[in-house]
Amino acid sequence: MSRLVLVWILVFSGVEIFGQEYKSDSLTVTNIEQITIVGDRTNSIPGAGQFLNHRTLEKLNQPNINHVLRIIPGVNIRDEEGFGLRPNIGLRGTPVNRSARITLMEDGILIAPAPYADPSAYYFPTFTRMQGVEVLKGSSQIEYGPYTIGGAVNLLSTAIPTSCKGFALLSYGSFGTNQQRVWIGDSHKNFDYVFEINRFASDGFKELENEGKTGFDRRDVMGKLRWHTDENKNIQQSVTLKFLNTTEDGQETYLGLTYEDYKVNPLRRYAGTQKDFLNMKHNHISLSHTILPIKGLTIHTTAYYSFTFRNWDRANSFGGKSIQLILSDPITNQEGYQIMAGRSNGSVEAQSSDRTYFSKGLQTNAQYIFTTKKLNHTLQFGLRYHLDQSDRYATSSTYNMSNGVLIQTGIGFRGNRENQIRNAKSFASFLSYDVRFKGLKLSPGLRFETINFDFRNFGTTDNARLGDALRSAENNLYVVLPGFGANYEFNQNMSVFGGVHKGFSPPGMPSVSSTTGQAKVETSVNYELGCRYNKGAINTQLVVFLNDYKNILGSDNVSGGGAGTGDMFNAGNANIHGLEMAVTYDVLYRKGVDAAFKLPVSIAYTYTYAVFKESFINGGGDLGSGPIQKNDVIPFITPHLLTASIAIEHKKLNATLTGRYTGITRVKPGRNETVLPSDNVLYNDVNAIAGFFIMDVSFNYSMSRNLSVFATSNNVTNNNSIVANLPQGYRPNMPLSFNVGLKANF
């Protein structure tokens, strides 16, 4: 009893990070620096989880996280700019727009610029500096909020090595795409470190009519410093400081193409976007303390702070006509279209949307592993206190299109289009308990979260924010989210798992202008049932899932096809269910034989069926506007997703061919026959995007123990496909591209 009292005193003394399940009682501090949510537990967690380690990423050589995540079933992605810098990710039917409805983390810490106040992930970590990625779905993800319906994605940055090591990468390819990455680190008796610099840049594959740039330049500097006790100390502990600085300059636009222009040249960019530019800065610092005070108990506490600035300056209207109006009917709005294309002179209105975000908090996770007779117990308790803010200014300025060149004619005063501050404060806690008896593992859990939203709109005439036209609103809410999972191992090769948990998504900022009322909390009762079989040459996982929504949320953002108010609104009850399958089989495997070559074949398939369960009048945004009928299909959730790969692997070389199929995707609610982009079909009448298939190849060859060469080719068949009709107009996939490079370990 005295030992349990001590445990609870220690548990309640901290506040939360999300950590791995530690298996060894003799675990030392040097092994607990990397925070994972799945790690090596993929065969024992009572839910669907996948972990892609650094070996998998090195074989693929993919700088685009969209391509990598597609090898995991249950992940739905909408491409946008072609390089995966701002991915649109959904899990098990959650909306994909700006990855705003999943929990995004780096090393276990929330990474969206303002995950509560303004969750759209306009900043997303540079994937080229990551050494692993984890995706967790199902009842196990109750620990990782605030978005607990679809799941969580955790990116793993470069870990501190156990000895003096370094790594360098240099690559160059199509469209001037290039990367330079160097890291070096070491572990000493009491002090360890790793420092990394990474640059990822491209001239871009889009073609501006004035031959202007359409690429980007992103740079990262990261460091981790760790002090830890001697390994022979009775009480092991460490303190780790992590810092990160990211900058990006991008000639990126929201504007795509009309269908007629897409047919002529899918890579074209209109002259009216020649001034479109994204400027972004991101800084992160965290201080983590880990202690193993008694046998079986680990407490990990982290204080963190992130600052993000993003200003996206882009064209907004041509000849007094909005982009959406021009796209809807270029013939009727011919004057605006000709100005947009740079073929006629006329007025252009542009908007710079600068936003300053901060996110800070203190979190702790205490985990206690103990045994009583034939039962193994893991008790985990976490707390997190979090604050974030989004400070938004949007400023409209004027230009004149003159002989295909944009000339600025007026600068508006700051905030003349948007002038508001969004604040959020949250306190979250969870308690989970795993008990194992022989092959059976039961995992009940409970999450509690209370959130305060504070919205202040200063109006478009008060750029000094004196409060003369201030409209404000607050929203306070709390939720209790129970969950239960189970995993049964028949033997070391086969197991079944299942679970049920209540999921939750915050309703966003309270509106001061909505005519449909304030949005309510989105909840869902989520069910899953699955099995795993891993033996010899074969590795499989099959899962069926059902998400039963109440008050499913929609949002009104320009990036999702809305007017840009940022308002959230409810769309009633909904039902999303489906199947996930992942299979890997080594064709050349022979039991007891150490084959010189391996020939693994992999398949990842997802089927998702998503419908509204009641009729209502929708308010706009990413779910469209107007009447929606019961059993109408929910848009932007692709029913059929398939990724297949075949690889040849040898100790000195490996090559992987990957094919990715994305099925027909509805872009408007409905049950009627799909209308695809085609001749004489107006943009607003299109309700679906055709399916497409893309093939990539990756090759690695080790020239020596420390030096290797690699090459990749994306879209090897040069397939020309429309991958999205958002944010504004039709967008192409990246055409055939090549990339070659060198990797050095030292």
- Domain boundaries in the chain? 11-745
Has residue 474 got a pLDDT over 60? yes
What value does the mean pLDDT take over residues 74-80?
Answer: 95
Amino acid at 134: E
pLDDT of residue 48: 87
Q: Is the pLDDT of residue 5 over 70?
A: no
Please determine, looking at this structure, whether the domain spanning 11-745 carries the CATH number 2.40.170.20.
Answer: yes
Q: Is the pLDDT of residue 2 over 50?
A: no
Given pLDDT bands bounded at 50, 70 and 90, which one contains residue 157?
A: very high
**Cis peptide bond prior to 95, omega within 30° of 0:** no
Confidence bin at 559 (pLDDT 50/70/90): low
Residue of 150, 156, 155 whose CA lies nearest to 48? 150
| DSSP bridge pairs for 400 | 347, 407
Kindly report, residue by residue over 270-316, the tens digit of the pLDDT: 999 999 999 999 999 999 999 999 999 999 999 999 999 999 999 99
pLDDT value of position 341: 97
| Span of 261-275, 375-389, 516-530, 648-662 with lowest mean pLDDT | 516-530
DSSP code of residue 562: S
* pLDDT tens string 619-647: 666 777 788 899 999 999 999 999 999 99
Mean pLDDT, range 528-547, rounded to an integer: 96
Mean pLDDT of the chain, nearest integer = 91
What is the per-residue pLDDT for 31?
A: 41
DSSP 114: B
709 has which bridge partners? 701, 742
CB contact burial 154-180 (16+ within 10 A = b; e otherwise)? bbbbbbbbeeeebbebebebbbebbbb
Residue 361 has pLDDT above 90, yes or no: yes
Q: Is the dihedral of CA 50, 54, 55, 58 positive or negative?
A: positive
Rounded-to-integer distance, Cα 166 and Cα 158, Å: 11
pTM: 0.93
List the one residue out of 243, 242, 239 whose CA is nearest residue 226: 239
- In this predicted model, what pLDDT tens digit does every residue of 171-182 receive, in sequence order? 999 999 999 999
What pLDDT, on the 0 to 100 scale, is given for residue 151?
A: 93
What would the two tokens of residue 692 be?
């497409």
Query: In the prediction, which pLDDT does 382 show?
Result: 97
**Model confidence pLDDT, tens digit, residues 660-714:** 999 999 999 999 899 999 998 999 999 999 999 999 999 999 999 999 999 999 9
Q: DSSP readout, 665-722?
A: EESS-BSS----S-TT--GGG--EE--EEEEEEEEEEESSSSEEEEEEEESTT----E
What percent of the chain has a predicted confidence (pLDDT) above 90?
84
Higher pLDDT, 566 or 332: 332
Residue 565 banded pLDDT, cuts 50, 70, 90: low
* Joined tokens for residue 197: 């610099």
